[in-house]
């Protein structure tokens, strides 16, 4: 499994992912899931991948091949981020059409999902989730984050702390805490964690890092977050059992 996250705010983008693709008692594999296809100074394009690894790698190879061969339509020539999302969706369908029947024959899950975040000159930054069928949805100021993979454990902190006006540094911290919360509850999500922060209208990736297991900063925020949650829990008022008893479940007039 995996967990990838994109956050869109007024001030730019944050993209983050773990790197675990399989977990078991005797087998763990690690693959990069956050990729930079930017053309510095002109466009920033970041992709996160989740799902069947052979499918996502095949799609990534097609995208890289079009760039290498300087095809008329590639990630650096397409005029809008919306059209880039459509182009990636087409590549997903192309690979699915070639491989799906063979994977289905052996009962192998062939689905995949991509996150596309970035900015092209002349446009505002944007964030898309591209489904296995090639269609996609877009982040909005009302819904400023999108997740793929093992999403449920990392969502509560995003719901409670993020909005479109959140400062970009705070959004980056929130992304790390969201991934850490997921790792705490699910062994299928694990370091290294890749993190990119992109300020609006900069058109360069200047803020990126890879946090490996045991990284001092990752350990620090994990401990501080657990302490803060424990302290918040201890400040919660006790249950008023007397008041509750007056409306006891099943009571009759």
pLDDT band at 11 (very low <50, low <70, confident <90, very high): very high
CB 15 within 8 A of CB 117: yes
Burial 111-140 (b: 16+ CB within 10 A, else e): ebbbbbbbbbeeeebbbbbbbbebebeebe
Q: Considering the chain, what is the average pLDDT of its residues?
A: 91
Residue 248 scores a pLDDT above 80? no
Residue 34: what pLDDT? 97
Rounded to an integer, what distance in angstroms lies between the CA atom of residue 140 and that of residue 118? Answer: 14
Query: What mean pLDDT do residues 150-160 have?
Result: 93
DSSP character at residue 214: T
Would you say 200 and 125 are in contact if contact means Cβ atoms under 8 Å apart? Answer: yes
Question: pLDDT class for 27, splitting at 50, 70, 90?
Answer: low
Query: What pLDDT band is residue 28 in, cutting at 50, 70 and 90?
Result: low
Taking a C-beta distance cutoff of 8 angstroms, is the pair 194, 210 a contact?
yes
pLDDT band at 106 (very low <50, low <70, confident <90, very high): confident
pLDDT band at 213 (very low <50, low <70, confident <90, very high): confident
Which residue reads 């990069």 in tokens?
Answer: 32
Q: Do 116 and 81 contact (CB within 8 A), yes or no?
A: yes
pLDDT at 105: 79
- pLDDT 10s digits, 119-128: 999 999 999 9
Within 68-201, strands assigned E span 112-120, 126-130, 136-138, 145-149, 193-199
Residue 193 has pLDDT above 70, yes or no: yes
- Residue 198's closest CA among 45, 5, 88, 33? 45
Q: What is the mean pLDDT of residues 38-59?
A: 95
Which position has the token pair 């339509």? 73
With cut-offs at 50, 70 and 90, classify the pLDDT of residue 143. very high
Distance (Å) of CA 170 to CA 115, 161, 165: 21, 9, 10
**Confidence check: pLDDT of 170 > 60:** yes
Cβ atoms within 10 A of the Cβ of 8, count? 27
CA 246 vs CA 57, 216, 237, 250: distances in Å: 61, 51, 19, 11
* Domains of the chain as residue ranges with CATH: 3-234 (3.60.20.10)
pLDDT at 23 over 60: no
The answer to whether 193 and 26 are in contact (CB under 8 A) is no
Question: Band of the pLDDT at 242, cuts 50, 70, 90?
Answer: confident
pLDDT mean over 99-106: 80
Q: Tell me: pLDDT of 247 over 70.
A: no
The Cα 117–Cα 133 span in angstroms is 19
Given a cut of 90, whether residue 107 has pLDDT beyond it is no
d(CA 232, CA 159): 18
In this structure, is the dihedral angle defined by the CA atoms of residues 57, 207, 193 and 181, taken in order, positive or negative? negative
In the chain, pLDDT over 70 holds for what percent of residues? Answer: 92
Looking at the chain, the whole-number percentage of residues with pLDDT higher than 90 is 76
For residues 3 and 179, the answer to whether their CB atoms sit within 8 Å is yes
DSSP string, 14-77: EEEE--EEEE-SS-EEE---EEE--BTTTEEEEEEEEE-HHHHHHHHHHHHHHHHTT-SSSTTT
pTM metric for this prediction: 0.91
């Amino acid at each position: 499994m995996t967990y990838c996250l994109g956050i869109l705010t007024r001030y730019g983008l944050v993209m983050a992912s773990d790197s675990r693709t399989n977990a078991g008692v005797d087998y763990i594999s690690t693959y990069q899931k956050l990729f930079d296809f930017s053309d510095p100074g002109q466009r920033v394009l970041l992709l996160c991948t989740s799902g069947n690894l052979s499918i996502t790698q095949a799609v990534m190879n097609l995208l890289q091949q079009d760039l290498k061969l300087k095809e008329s339509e590639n990630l650096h020539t397409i005029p809008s981020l919306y059209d880039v999302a459509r182009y990636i969706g087409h590549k997903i369908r192309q690979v699915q059409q070639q491989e799906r029947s063979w994977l289905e024959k052996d009962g192998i899950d062939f689905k995949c999902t991509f996150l596309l975040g970035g900015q092209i000159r002349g446009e505002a930054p944007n964030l898309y989730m591209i489904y296995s069928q090639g269609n996609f949805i877009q982040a909005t100021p009302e819904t400023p984050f999108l997740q793929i993979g093992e999403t449920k454990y990392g969502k509560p902190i995003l719901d409670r702390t993020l909005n479109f006006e959140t400062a970009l540094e705070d959004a980056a911290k929130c992304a790390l805490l969201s991934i850490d919360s997921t790792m705490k509850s699910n062994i299928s999500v694990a370091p290294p964690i890749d993190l990119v922060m992109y300020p609006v209208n900069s058109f360069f990736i200047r803020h990126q890092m890879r946090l490996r297991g045991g990284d001092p900063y990752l350990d620090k925020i994990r401990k501080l977050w657990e302490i803060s949650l424990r302290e918040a829990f201890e400040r919660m008022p006790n249950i008023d059992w007397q008041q509750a008893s007056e409306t006891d479940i099943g009571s009759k007039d």
